[in-house]
Amino acid sequence: RYQPTCYEHAANCYTHALLIVPAFVGMALLHRLSDTSWERITAVVYGLGLCALFVVSTVFHIITWKKSHMRSMEQCFHMCDRVVIYFFIAASYTPWLNLRELGPLAAHMRWFIWLMAAAGTIYVFNYHEKYKLVELAFYLTMGFFPASVVTSMSNTDGLHELACGGLIYVLGVFFFKSDGIIPFAHAIWHVFVALAAAVHYYAIWKYLYKSPGSDSLLET
């Protein structure tokens, strides 16, 4: 297993640590812009998924960097880091599945995507790091399969942003698989994740939560 340099460890930590506060602020903003209980619940689910992604990733990389002798804790947080990705993917689709008029499969996909996240969790705790390509395929399948339902929405506003964010994630996978080959590869992967998450957040804010009076709300 590749051992990052001290500078790479630092980059792995800071590239996600710096996004923790913005993620919480973003969740609070969507919650404030919500008009209904369903919108508020959706904002919290999505926001918690976003926050958990950056928090757990940061904690794991700090432990890996500073507490390398605590192997059991490192292993635990490594699994949590992988599990959170599944739930983050599910949370990222939740606003579109909950707040947009979609085809008849949308209601089923709304719950199926969380079953996929649960299945991914079971996989991680049973086969962690054993079949890495299978795990990667699981992430990609979960990331793209619900898109077949989301693209059926009659209102197509936001589809370009969704596609753009998805493309950024896919391009970032190259660096995710390049540890030990490209310097700072994992930190670069983190940057791709941050950019893709920002694009998707912007789309959710603009097309699902922002109303004509939102700008005045932000100024109060």
Q: Is 128 annotated as a binding residue?
A: no
Residue 88 lies in a domain: yes
Residue 123's CATH number = 1.20.1070
| pTM (predicted TM-score) | 0.88
Residue 16 annotated as lining a ligand binding site? no
Q: What is the Cα–Cα distance from 161 to 142, expressed in whole angstroms?
A: 18
State how far the Cα of 110 lies from the Cα of 90, in Å rounded to an integer.
9
Helices (H), the chain: 6-17, 20-33, 37-66, 71-99, 106-127, 132-144, 147-150, 159-176, 185-204, 214-219
pLDDT score, position 217: 47
**Residues whose CB falls within 8 Å of the CB of residue 89, separated by 6 or more in sequence, listed in order:** 113, 117, 139, 142, 143
Does residue 217 belong to any structural domain of this protein? no
Number of domains in the chain: 1
1 belongs to a structural domain: no
Tell whether 49 is covered by a domain.
Answer: yes
Q: Are 179 and 2 in contact (CB under 8 A)?
A: yes
Residue 182 sits in which domain range?
Answer: 6-212
User: DSSP string of 43-90?
Assistant: HHHHHHHHHHHHHHHHHHHHHHHH-TT-HHHHHHHHHHHHHHHHHHHH
Q: Over the chain (220 residues), what is each successive 10-residue block's mean pLDDT?
A: 85 96 98 96 98 95 76 80 93 92 77 90 83 81 82 85 93 90 95 97 94 52
